[in-house]
A and B are shown apart, each in its own frame.
Chain A
């Protein structure tokens, strides 16, 4: 809006005076862009480019090891590495299920918070607390909940389950924690999106006699679409790159059942010292994430038309 409003004004005032002012301004701009470009180049582009290049080398952690360029060798090894594929599968199950559950749970909560209900204040506060907590504390807290002896769940259900060490229960148990931690951001963004839906749209369909379900389906959801696409994409990226939470909960166990790709990469790099191989893993995950996001965004854009 402001950009549109400014333009005609700029044109009307256009003349030699404006032309003269332009010169020094864009020069100053370049000088000012330098502080913008230098930190981005040094702290973000530099390490990432270095990291990506490492994926094509046999870099090791030792101080005096020779590093040489090995081309696509790491990638070939990765593709035939059963442990990687297992970790990759777990990562996709984790990433997709946490993102989907997070979205559904947060949408429900956001819809409730958007209404005039009594408990709303409490729920609003509770809904952002996990966001502020250190992931390590979240992990430790849930270990207390899942604890086989002094934990809450076994006491509640009268069961005798070691939730985080059970081969089939560990991943679902960890997914629940993932949903719990990630709900705040998603809820807050969806709620803000809900509050931006123009009231007139609801009034228009109410006149047509639409019930709450049709109002949700025909007005809320289409209006919310850009917000939903943005936040679920972000959530997926964040979830697939999760490390701290699961490291504290299970360290990837039992028997690798919760070893997300980042835990795998961490072990390869900092336990076994295969820097190059771990970087390859990072690049592979990036490619997969970009592919999934690309497909998702492309489909959403096509349906949106």
Chain B
């Protein structure tokens, strides 16, 4: 009896979580005629891939995808390059300055993004970087850096200090000890942080909306919103098709780092 109830509850969750996803998939495969029908169908009667072709024809999905890729890759690389030495320092040298820095990283999460985007917008405008991918990359780095720092610091702390010291005592010197002993152990964490930064940038919408004004420089999330016209009259099939495609990179990368992200989030949430 209790077991049956549990299954019923779990089934309820599965339905709630899955039905919008299935509906998106179903809409992407439907013909316009079938979509206009009064009774909606779950499984398209005559499944079609025409919506995908239409999506590419209607909007510059390839261009937007490439621009998103450039920004996301640049964001990931710059973020990790800035955060790695910082995370190492914060994990290994626990002075007052380090404590204040890591405390700030936590506190900064409370501030709403408007407080960051307005000053950044003003600075970028002065530097003539509004409406450029470089400008958006700068904003994304700012936005991702705190959490990346937090994640990396956790991974550095997981590398036993004794290992490093043993290598240093053997006369390897601090830098060689870092390269030979710490780097290999840290590599999975660095990869996870790179992918996390990539996903954050690839998915990001608000900053792109503020920084990028012309269709020629738009990233993918902005182009997707374009499928919904000014009157909200959308071409639903191509919209669904394009949405599915835009989700693939995030989903794949996320599957890879899921486990590590979980431990990172836990370290952040519980240890405080």
Q: Which residues of chain A have a CB within 8 Å of any CB of chain B?
A: 2, 6, 26, 28-29, 32-33, 35-37, 39-40, 43-48, 50-52, 54, 59, 63, 105, 108-109, 112, 115, 117-120, 122-123, 126-137, 140-145, 147, 149-152, 155-156, 180, 183, 185, 188-189, 192-193, 212, 226-227, 230-231, 234, 237, 240-241, 243-244, 247-248, 261-262, 265-266, 269-270, 275, 278-279, 281-283, 285-286, 289-290, 293
Contact = CB atoms under 8 A, between A and B. Distances in A.
Interface in B62-118: 82-83, 85-90, 92-93, 95, 97-98, 101, 104-105, 108-118
Given A32-B89, A37-B101, A122 B119 contact: no
B270 A144 contact: no
Interface string B226-258: 011000001010011001001100110111001
Contacts of A265: 112, 114
- Please name the 8 residue pairs, one residue from A and one from B, whose CB atoms are nearest each other, closest first: A155-B40, A132-B254, A36-B86, A51-B115, A29-B93, A50-B119, A134-B203, A35-B85
B269 A227 contact: yes
Contacts of A150: 27, 35-36, 40, 236
Interface string B213-229: 00000001100110110
Contact of A36 (B101, B125, B142, B240): B101
A56 B120 CA distance: 17
Contacts of B225: 136, 140, 248
A117 B254 contact: no
B109 A237 contact: yes
Nearest to B157: A2
23 contacts: A28-B174, A29-B95, A33-B98, A37-B101, A44-B108, A48-B116, A50-B119, A51-B115, A119-B14, A134-B203, A134-B205, A134-B221, A136-B246, A140-B224, A143-B228, A144-B24, A144-B240, A145-B20, A145-B23, A230-B272, A247-B206, A279-B118, A289-B110
B24 A266 contact: no
A138 B109 CA distance: 23
A127 B220 CA distance: 25
Contacts of B53: none
Given A33-B98, A282-B111, A134 B202 contact: yes
Chain B contact residues, majority secondary structure: helix
Contacts of A136: 203, 205, 221, 224-225, 246
Contacts of B221: 134, 136, 244
Nearest to B9: A112
A123 B111 contact: no
B7 A141 contact: no
Contacts of B118: 51, 54, 269, 275, 278-279, 282
Given A48-B116, A54-B119, A129-B251, A189 B266 contact: yes
B111 A286 contact: yes
A151 B112 contact: no
A230 B199 CA distance: 24
Contact of B142 (A47, A275, A289): A47
Nearest to A188: B262
A43 B110 contact: no
B14 A132 contact: no
B23 A32 contact: no
B243 A141 contact: yes
B14 A123 contact: yes
B65 to A, nearest CB: 12
A290 B110 contact: yes
B251 A133 contact: yes
B171 to A, nearest CB: 14
A65 to B, nearest CB: 11
A118 to B, nearest CB: 7
B11 interface: yes
Nearest to B84: A35
A123 B10 contact: yes
A123 B6 CA distance: 13
Contact of B251 (A39, A43, A132): A132
B182 to A, nearest CB: 13
Given A118-B7, A230-B270, A262 B39 contact: no
A147 B35 CA distance: 11
A282 B112 contact: yes
Interface string B1-34: 0100011011101101111110110010000000
A286 B89 contact: no
